[in-house]
């Protein structure tokens, strides 16, 4: 029986608490009275994954069973979430592989020959063959990749994009041509956080700049309260409008999955446990890992962390019509991640870990660290932000990993050139977004190499726009001072220093809340 998440109030007996900071972690003594929000323990998983998949495909929600949708001679496209999910990468076999294999078996049984698989990577980098193989499995990879039937979506291949129309708010809806012209589009999703899934899957994962610009912008993100709550998110409202336009023209069979929060394999599982419950073995693991990381060069630390494979368990799978399926998925995600928190605090403390959706096998550069902290974690709330308006956010990350030139070439220019001029998401978006979006070199690298699209760093900055608009102070503990300053923030050596610096904003005795993640949690702030 798993225990729900809860809020600890730090007192004299509370041991130092673990805080993630990039390629490492620290044990931090929090001031007395600090609220620490712990995620629930892993909830009950599906006992037989293959059977659950089969059940979902045969008894979908508000849809005919999949076998009834499959006809000989039809054109079938299977799209799936890319390498940005799950985090960390799921231990093989990936649940998407198991779903795709069953879908393909049913398609073969129905005599469907025209099948293609597409990674719905939107403006994310192209997946390497190895990454594709990890997601779809060796058999599927071998059958489809060599024939060019397992591909990355190319949002800049204008000959292979279809314009499906406009929403009632005049938003252009463009998706992958193969998907648009298929008789059936099966989408295989993993919903790790409530932001994922629903109409976001096809409407964003298979779209282009012409569509993305309508919701991936500063105004939308500032008005998404939060983007982790799709019913109060402007981002999702736009995606939902687009999804309905897509639904009028494309038959979408949505398969959504949710997973538990079993993110760290042994011997790193102490990272998920509550510190006062650490066994002797957990404490020994912590000390060993901490000592090892302290002496390991950054490259080795990077390898240690990025080679981790999460032993996720499947908590739910639903298939059928997009919206009802997504409601079921979100309910399961909330069951796993939601923690009730009473009221806001003056200061929010967040540890930014080594990994986010956009630095798989790559470096967590300062912009991605900001996106992770002020974007993903700050927005991990329902109701109202954990920190009050005008409060302070204290983040832990060294901001020292630099930029991966292969994956993030435009990030370097964004950091060196754009942020040097302004850190205001609205200002930089207005002046520079189109330049970066239309830059032929970035487009070339996105299409032929493994680079994120040129405009992607702007999206990361917009992701943090709500937080920047909401709080008055952002301080990075242990962060590189130049990097923090370039982004318009400040850096401190210790938590006490950071609190001292923030005292101008929140006073000398602020209320503090620390979100103890990962694993992912959503604060349900009352």
Partner 1 sequence: MMLALELFRSLPRTVAGKTLGGRVPMVAGMAAPLRLVTIEPPRVDRPSWVRLRTKLSGICGSDLGAVAGKTSLYFSAVVSFPFVPGHEVVAELMDDCDDLPKGTRVVLDPVLCCAPRGLELCEECTAGRTNRCTRITVGNLAPGLQTGFCTTTGGGWSQQLSAHRSQLHVVPEGYSDEQAVLIEPMSCAVHTALRAGVTPNDRVLVSGAGSVGLLATLALRSLTPAGEIIVVAKHGHQRELAVALGATEVVTPKEVLRRVRRLSGAFQLEPDFSRGYLLGGVDVAVDAVGSRESLETALHATRAGGRVVLSGMPAAADLSAAWFRELEIVGTYASARDEVSGRGAFEIATELVAHDAVAQLAKSVAPYPLHRWREAIDHAQSAGRLGTVKVAFDPRKRG
Query: Does the protein bind partner 1 through residue 62 (CB under 8 A)?
Result: no
- Give the angle 6-24-469 at the CA atoms, nearest 5°: 65
* Cβ-based nearer residue to partner 1, 276 or 441: 441
The reply on whether position 500 binds partner 1 by CB under 8 A is no
Closest distance of CB 416 from partner 1, Å? 6
Minimum distance from CB of 156 to partner 1 (Å)?
Answer: 15
Measured distance CA(476)–CA(282) in Å, rounded: 28
Assess 417 for contact with partner 1 (CB under 8 A). yes
We find the least distance from the C-beta atom of residue 66 to partner 1, in angstroms, to be: 45
CB of 482 to partner 1, least distance (A): 14
421 binds partner 1 (CB under 8 A): no
Residue 59 is a binding residue for partner 1 (CB under 8 A) = no
d(CA 349, CA 14): 17
Q: What is the dihedral of CA 232, 235, 238, 244, to 10 degrees?
A: -80
Q: In this complex, which beta carbon is closest to partner 1, that of residue 436 or of residue 463?
A: 436
- R_g of the chain, CA atoms, integer Å: 22
- Establish if 433 lies at the interface with partner 1 (CB under 8 A): no
Sheet of strand 338-341, all strands in order from the earlier edge strand to the far edge: 338-341, 522-525, 381-382
Minimum CB distance to partner 1, residue 432 (Å): 10
Residues 276 to 335 in contact with partner 1, rule: CB under 8 A: none
Q: Which of 28, 439 has the CB closer to partner 1?
A: 439
- Distance CA(49)–CA(65), nearest Å, equals 18
Closer by beta carbon to partner 1, 114 or else 416: 416
Which residue number, 239 or 460, has a Cβ lying nearer to partner 1?
460
Which CB atom, from 153 or from 408, has the smaller least distance to partner 1?
408
Query: Is 440 an interacting residue with respect to partner 1 (CB under 8 A)?
Result: yes
- Here's the x/- map for partner 1, 188-227, by CB under 8 A: it reads as ----------------------------------------
What lies within 8 Å, CB to CB, of 148 at 6+ separation is: none
- Give the Cα separation of 395 and 1 in Å (integer): 33
Stretch that binds partner 1, among 53-61, 134-142, 246-254, 439-447 (CB under 8 A): 439-447
Kindly indicate which of the ranges 78-86, 330-338, 391-399, 440-448 contains the residues binding partner 1, using the contact rule CB under 8 A. 440-448
The tally of CA atoms less than 13 A away on the side-chain side of residue 31 is 18
Q: Which of 138, 416, 500, 504 binds partner 1 (CB under 8 A)?
A: 416
State the minimum distance, in angstroms, from the CB of residue 444 to partner 1: 7
Q: Specify the stretch interacting with partner 1 by CB under 8 A; choose among 372-380, 432-440, 456-464, 500-508.
A: 432-440
For partner 1, which is the closer residue by CB, 66 or 445?
445
Cβ proximity to partner 1: between 430 and 435 the closer is 435
448 counts as binding partner 1 under rule CB under 8 A = no
Among candidates 346, 364, 366, which has minimal Cα distance to 355?
364
Residues numbered 355-414 forming contacts with partner 1, rule: CB under 8 A: 412-413
> For 282, left (φ over 0), alpha (ψ -120 to 50), or beta?
alpha
Residue 319 CA to residue 61 CA, distance in Å, equals 6
Is 444 a binding residue for partner 1 by CB under 8 A? The answer is yes
Applying CB under 8 A, the span of 73-81, 87-95, 433-441, 492-500 interacting with partner 1 comes to: 433-441
Given 439, 483, 511, 522, the residue binding partner 1 (CB under 8 A)? 439
Spell out, one character per residue from 468 to 487, where the chain touches partner 1: x when CB under 8 A holds, - when not: --------------------
Cα–Cα distance for residue pair 164/463, rounded to 1 Å:
27
Q: How many residues lie near partner 1 (CB under 8 A)?
A: 9
CA distance 367 to 370: 5
Identify the three-state secondary structure at position 5.
coil
Contacts with 273 (C-beta within 8 Å, 6 or more apart), sequence order: 282
**Alpha-carbon span 374 to 474, nearest angstrom:** 9
Min dist. Cβ of residue 313 to partner 1 (A): 45
Interacting stretch for partner 1, rule CB under 8 A, among 18-26, 131-139, 151-159, 434-442? Answer: 434-442
In whole angstroms, give the CA distance from residue 415 to residue 363. Answer: 15
Per CB under 8 A, does 524 bind partner 1? no
Residues present in the chain in total: 526
Burial label for 110, CB within 10 Å (0-12, 13-18, 19+), is middle
Interacting stretch for partner 1, rule CB under 8 A, among 9-17, 74-82, 272-280, 438-446? 438-446
**98 neighbors 357 (Cβ within 8 angstroms):** no
**Could you give the C-alpha distances from 95 to 102, 110, 205, 359, in angstroms and in order?**
11, 23, 18, 21
156 touches partner 1 by CB under 8 A: no
User: Nearest Cα to 147, choosing from 170, 97, 113?
Assistant: 113
Q: Within a 10 A sphere around the Cβ of 334, how many other Cβ atoms?
A: 15
Q: Is 165 left (phi over 0), alpha (psi -120 to 50) or beta?
A: left
Query: Looking at beta carbons only, is 9 or 438 nearer to partner 1?
Result: 438
Q: What is the nearest approach in angstroms of partner 1 to the Cβ of residue 127?
A: 23
Q: Which is nearer to partner 1, 354 or 403 (CB)?
A: 403
Residue 310 per-residue DSSP state: B
In angstroms, rounded to a whole number, what is the distance separating the alpha carbons of residues 93 and 77?
Answer: 21
Residues that bind partner 1 (CB under 8 A): 412-413, 416-417, 435, 439-441, 444
């Amino acid at each position: 029986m798993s225990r729900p998440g809860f809020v600890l109030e730090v007192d004299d007996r509370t041991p130092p608490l673990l805080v993630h900071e990039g390629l490492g972690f620290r044990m931090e003594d929090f001031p007395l009275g600090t609220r620490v929000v712990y995620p629930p323990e892993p909830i009950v998983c599906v006992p037989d994954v293959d059977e659950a998949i089969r059940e979902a495909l045969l008894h979908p929600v508000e849809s005919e069973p999949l076998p009834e949708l499959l006809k000989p001679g039809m054109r079938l496209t299977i799209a799936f979430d890319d390498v940005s999910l799950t985090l960390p990468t799921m231990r093989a076999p990936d649940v998407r592989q198991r779903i795709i294999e069953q879908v393909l078996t049913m398609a073969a049984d129905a005599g469907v020959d025209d099948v293609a698989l597409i990674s719905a990577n939107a403006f994310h980098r192209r997946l390497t063959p190895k990454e594709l193989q990890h997601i779809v499995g060796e058999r599927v990879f071998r059958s489809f990749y060599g024939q060019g039937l397992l591909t990355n979506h190319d949002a800049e291949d204008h000959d292979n994009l279809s314009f499906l129309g406009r929403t009632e708010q005049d938003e252009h809806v463009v998706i992958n041509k193969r998907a648009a012209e298929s008789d059936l589009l099966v989408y295989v999703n993993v919903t790790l956080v409530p932001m994922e899934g629903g109409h976001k899957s096809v409407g964003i994962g298979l779209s282009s700049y012409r569509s993305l610009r309508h919701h991936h912008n500063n105004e939308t993100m500032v008005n998404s309260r939060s983007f982790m709550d799709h019913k109060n998110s402007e981002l999702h409202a736009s995606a939902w409008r687009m999804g309905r336009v897509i639904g009028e023209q494309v038959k979408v069979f949505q398969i959504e999955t949710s997973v538990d929060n079993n993110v760290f394999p042994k011997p790193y599982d102490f990272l998920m446990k509550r510190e006062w419950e650490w066994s002797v073995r957990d404490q020994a693991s912590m000390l060993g890992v901490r000592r090892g990381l302290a002496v390991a060069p950054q490259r080795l630390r990077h390898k240690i962390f990025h080679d981790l494979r999460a032993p996720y368990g499947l908590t739910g799978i639903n298939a059928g019509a997009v919206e009802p399926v997504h409601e079921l998925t979100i309910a399961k995600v909330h069951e796993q991640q939601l923690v009730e928190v009473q009221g806001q605090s003056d200061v929010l403390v967040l540890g930014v870990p080594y990994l986010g959706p956009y630095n798989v096998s790559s470096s967590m550069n300062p912009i991605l660290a900001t996106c992770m902290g002020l974007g993903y974690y700050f927005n991990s709330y329902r109701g109202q932000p954990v920190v009050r308006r005008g409060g302070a956010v204290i983040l832990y990350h060294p901001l020292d990993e630099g930029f991966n030139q292969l994956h993030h070439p435009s990030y370097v220019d964004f950091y060196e050139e754009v942020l040097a001029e302004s850190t205001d998401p609205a200002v930089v978006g207005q002046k520079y977004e189109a330049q970066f979006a239309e830059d032929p070199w970035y487009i070339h690298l996105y299409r032929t190499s493994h680079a994120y699209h040129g405009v992607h760093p702007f999206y990361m900055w917009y992701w943090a726009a709500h937080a920047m608009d909401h709080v008055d102070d952002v301080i990075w503990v242990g962060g590189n001072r130049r990097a923090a300053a370039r982004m318009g923030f400040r850096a401190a050596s210790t938590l006490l220093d950071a609190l001292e610096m923030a005292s101008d904003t929140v006073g000398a005795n602020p209320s503090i809340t620390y979100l103890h993640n990962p694993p992912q949690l959503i604060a349900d702030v009352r």
